[in-house]
Structure 1
C-alpha cells in the first residue's frame, strides 16, 4: 500500500451547530463546506488546517454508524483518512497482507471522494479510511 498524505481526520459530534463555533471562534478555522451523505446517514462539516482537513460528522439517524458510535463512545475522534491512488488496488493489497476490510469495494463519500474503510481490529484500534479523488 502507498499512502500519499493524511486526507482528513474525522471527528464525531452530536450536533454540527454547536461544534462548528468551537472550530471557527476558538481555533480560528473556517468551515468551507457542509454536506449530507445520505447513504452513510451523516452530515459533515469541513475545515482546512494546512493540507489536512478536519471532518466533523453528525449522525442523521441514530441507527447510522456515527449515531451508534456517539451512543457507545461519545463525541470524539472517529477515524483517520489517507489519500491514495488506485483505491481498488490498495484494498486488494491490504487484504492480501491480512487486513480486515469493512469495504471490499469503494463507495461514494463526502466531497465526491471514493472511500473504503479498514477494520479497526486490524489497524490497532484506529478506524482507517482510504480516499481517492478520481476527479483530480
Structure 2
C-alpha cells in the first residue's frame, strides 16, 4: 500500500454547530463545507489546515457509528484518513497481508470520495480510513 498524503483527520463531536463555532471563532479556521452522509448517519464539517483537512463528525442517529463511538468513548479523535490511488487494489493487498478490514470494498463517503476503513485492531488502536477521489480512476 502507498498512501499519497493524509487526506483528513476525523473528530467526533456531539454538537456540530458548537464545534464549528469553536474552530472558527477560537482557532481562526474557516469551515468550507457541511454535508450529511445519510447512509453513515452522520453530518460533517470540513476545515483546511495547510494541506490537511479536519473533518468534524456529528451523528444524526444514536445508532450510527459516530453516535455509538461518542456513547462508548466520548468526543474526540475518531479516525485518521490516508489518500490512496486504486483503493480496491490497496484493500486487496492489505487483506492478503492479513490486515483486518472493516470494508472489503469501497463505498461512497463525504465529498464524493470512495472510502474504506481498516479495523483499529490491525492498526495499533487507530481507526484508519483509506480514501480515493472518484475521478482518479
TM-score > 0.5, shorter chain as reference:
yes
Q: TM-score range by the shorter chain?
A: over 0.9
Q: Which structure 1 segments of 5+ residues have no match?
A: none
Cross-structure match for 1:127: 127
Q: Which structure 2 segments of 5+ residues have no match?
A: none
Number of equivalent positions? 136
Which stretches of structure 1, 4 residues or longer, exceed 3 Å deviation after superposition? none
Cross-structure match for 1:3: 3
Residue 4 of structure 1 aligns to a residue whose secondary structure is strand
Cα displacement (A) at 1:127: 0.1
Cα displacement (A) at 1:40: 0.2
1:64 corresponds to 2:70: no
Q: For 1:68 and 1:48, how far apart are their aligned partners in 2?
A: 27
Cα displacement (A) at 1:9: 0.1
Q: For 1:23 and 1:135, how far apart are their aligned partners in 2?
A: 30
Residue 134 of structure 2 aligns to a residue whose secondary structure is coil
Cα displacement (A) at 1:135: 2.1
Cα displacement (A) at 1:22: 1.0
Cα displacement (A) at 1:111: 0.1
Q: For 2:66 and 2:134, how far apart are their aligned partners in 1?
A: 26
TM-score, normalising length from structure 2?
Answer: 0.98
Cross-structure match for 1:95: 95
Q: For 1:117 and 1:5, how far apart are their aligned partners in 2?
A: 16
Counting only pairs closer than 5 Å after superposition, residues 47-62 of structure 1 correspond to structure 2 as 47-62=47-62
Q: For 1:55 and 1:83, how far apart are their aligned partners in 2?
A: 14
1:31 corresponds to 2:31: yes
Cross-structure match for 2:113: 113
Q: For 1:103 and 1:135, how far apart are their aligned partners in 2?
A: 21
CA offsets 1:38-80 (integer angstroms, 9 cap, x no match): 0100000000001100000000000000000000000000000
Q: For 2:29 and 2:18, how far apart are their aligned partners in 1?
A: 15
CA offsets 1:14-57 (integer angstroms, 9 cap, x no match): 01111111110111100000000001000000000011000000
Residue 114 of structure 1 aligns to a residue whose secondary structure is strand
